[in-house]
Amino acid sequence: MSAIKKFQVTFDCAEPQRVARFWCEVLGYVVPPPPEGFATWDDYDRSLPPEDRIQYFACSDPSGVGPRLLFQRVPEGKVVKNRLHLDVRVGTGLVGEERLAALEAECERLVALGAVRVRLMLADEQNESCLMMQDIEGNEFCLD
């Protein structure tokens, strides 16, 4: 039996392209090139019937290491807390004030992109500090 090494993380959302571009900025990901024959994704989108426009939008790690992220349009809005969320690892190896400074700096950058700061969880006996946030559609994630 072989082990699966690659996976994709899929998000339900209202505006796939907008949310994908937000996460590109957060993670340093890129949008793949548009389909052959189209100069831009907007050109491709305009070629589709209105009901099929921007149903999905993806982004990927340019190094090929991280998972592909796919954002798919769904009709319902977010109602409850996510059962799965991303931890954006900005403080790895840092502790104390140095870690807090890294978390706060990244939080400030992401808030400027439209993220929402939820709360700071300070270090305890088992865990280092982390910052709970929401993306531009209210999906929870942590700066860790």
- The string of pLDDT tens digits covering residues 80-105 is 888 788 999 998 999 999 999 999 99
At residue 52, the pLDDT reads 77
Map residue 24 onto helix, strand or coil: helix
Contact 143, 103 (CB under 8 A): yes
Low-confidence ranges of the chain (pLDDT < 70): 1-2, 4
Contact 57, 40 (CB under 8 A): no
Give me the sheet containing 56-59, strands edge to edge.
Answer: 8-13, 68-73, 56-59
Q: Is 43 left (phi over 0), alpha (psi -120 to 50) or beta?
A: alpha
At residue 24, the pLDDT reads 97
At residue 1, the pLDDT reads 63
Task: Break the chain into its structural domains and give their ranges.
Answer: 8-73, 86-143
Q: Could you give the CA distance from residue 115 to residue 133 in angstroms, rounded to a whole number?
A: 7
